[in-house]
């Protein structure tokens, strides 16, 4: 084949075939398309939003004025920021940890022989694919102390006095966490389960049958094999939980006060409700900085340990 190509182009066969082979085996050919695409789409928004974070918008004159680092200073001097930051941190850690554990448990469970697996898989996708606003309203109805089924069952079955799930601290944050777990555990499950498919059956059998060695099998064989999948779950759920907005908006509106507010909710209020565009942009950058910090810590603490 290389000789034919050479005949038409006039390039000596050995050079031509080496060129195509080099191109064929060149990593950059694989990664260039996405790199270019992302660069093209991300430069303008990044520059725009960064510059915006250094300005403030005046609604009545429709103009911007330069405030330098004033927005960032305002964020760190606002006591509400720390409340909301703490809420977001609690929310993120709780949801990611619980979803990872539940997802792993579900994935391990699904390796058993049973009928109804595909039904379960279909049903599990649905929470993730429901429009977040619909999820929020559905759970708002379910959690309602006076009209909802959850509190009704708690009252009738366990004789627990009515709990104000959506309007009291700390239950409002707990309701948000429960809703997120319901919606996103399937994500962890599906990824980990697909990863488990590559683990040999014999190991899983050993884990199930011989109880004493199960934990060790799990720790020393399954977890290392699944580490790329676990990483995906932690990174993606971590990023998304940290930026949680839809459920906060529909379920509790950050209430009482801001005790169930998240950073994204605060940024939305400032940016869209109050038109403080510069401040909202600065908040977003603070969030990005935290995410970068978290990911970098993860990268060096955990990922370097993977033997390639």
Show contacts with another protein in window 41-60 (CB under 8 A): 41-42, 44-46, 48-49, 59-60
Stretch that binds another protein, among 6-14, 65-73, 90-98, 290-298 (CB under 8 A): 290-298
Distance from C-alpha of 226 to C-alpha of 302, rounded to nearest angstrom: 13
Window of 5-13, 92-100, 141-149, 212-220 that interacts with another protein by CB under 8 A? 141-149
- Contact residues for 283 (Cβ-Cβ < 8 A; gap 6+): 75, 263, 266, 267, 270, 271
Among 79, 131, 159, 305, binds another protein (CB under 8 A): 131
> Which value, in Å, is the radius of gyration of the alpha carbons in the chain?
26
Q: Does 159 bind another protein (CB under 8 A)?
A: no
Q: Which of 87, 92, 145, 241 lies at the binding interface for another protein (CB under 8 A)?
A: 145
Identify residues 259-278 at the interface with another protein (CB under 8 A): 264, 267-269, 271-275, 277
How many residues comprise the chain? Answer: 308
Can you list the positions of beta strands (E) in the chain? 55-58, 63-66
Closer CB to another protein, 94 or 281, in the complex:
281
Does residue 294 contact residue 241 with C-beta atoms inside 8 Å?
no
Which CB atom, from 39 or from 212, has the smaller least distance to another protein? Answer: 39
Asked if residues 101 and 94 have their Cβ atoms less than 8 Å apart, the reply is: no
- 227 sits in which H/E element: helix 223-242
Rounded to a whole number of angstroms, the minimum distance from the CB of residue 9 to another protein is: 19
Cis geometry, peptide bond prior to residue 170 (ω within 30 degrees of 0): yes
- In sequence order, the 6+-apart residues with CB closer than 8 A to the CB of 221 are 199, 203
Residue 159, token pair as written in the block: 């004789």
Stretch that binds another protein, among 5-13, 86-94, 214-222, 254-262 (CB under 8 A): 254-262
Q: Which of residues 161-180 bind another protein (CB under 8 A)?
A: 162, 164-169
Contact 78/283 with Cβ under 8 angstroms? no
Show contacts with another protein in window 225-244 (CB under 8 A).
Answer: 225, 228-229, 231-232, 235-236, 239, 243
Q: Residues 64 to 123: which contact another protein by CB under 8 A?
A: 106, 109, 112-114, 116, 118-123
Six-digit token pair at 84?
């909301």
Q: How far is the CB of 219 from another protein (least distance, A)?
A: 18
């Amino acid at each position: 084949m290389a000789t034919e190509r050479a005949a038409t182009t006039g390039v000596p066969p050995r050079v031509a075939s080496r060129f195509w082979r080099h191109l064929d085996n060149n990593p950059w050919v694989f990664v260039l398309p996405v790199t270019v695409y992302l660069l093209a789409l991300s430069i303008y928004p990044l520059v725009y939003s960064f510059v915006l974070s250094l300005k403030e918008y005046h609604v009545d004159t429709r103009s911007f004025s330069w405030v330098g680092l004033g927005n960032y200073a305002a964020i760190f001097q606002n006591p509400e920021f720390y409340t909301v930051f703490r809420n977001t941190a609690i929310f993120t850690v709780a949801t990611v940890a619980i979803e990872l554990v539940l997802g792993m448990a579900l994935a391990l469970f699904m390796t058993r022989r049973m009928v109804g697996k595909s039904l379960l898989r279909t049903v599990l996708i649905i929470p993730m694919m429901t429009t977040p606003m619909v999820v929020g309203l559905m759970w708002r109805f379910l959690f309602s102390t006076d009209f909802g089924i959850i509190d009704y069952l708690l009252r009738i079955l366990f004789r627990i006095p009515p709990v104000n799930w959506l309007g009291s601290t700390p239950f409002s944050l707990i309701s948000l966490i429960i809703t997120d777990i319901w919606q996103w555990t399937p994500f962890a499950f599906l990824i980990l389960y697909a990863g488990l498919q590559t683990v040999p059956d014999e190991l899983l059998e050993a884990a199930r049958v011989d109880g004493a060695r199960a934990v060790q099998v799990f720790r020393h064989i399954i977890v290392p094999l699944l580490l790329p999948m676990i990483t995906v779950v932690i990174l993606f759920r971590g990023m998304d939980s940290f930026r949680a907005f839809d459920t906060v908006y529909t379920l509790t509106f950050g209430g009482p006060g801001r005790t169930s507010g998240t950073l994204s909710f605060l940024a939305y209020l400032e940016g869209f409700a109050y038109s403080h565009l510069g401040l909202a942009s600065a908040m977003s950058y603070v969030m990005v900085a935290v995410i970068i910090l978290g990911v970098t810590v993860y990268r060096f603490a955990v990922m370097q340990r993977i033997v390639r």
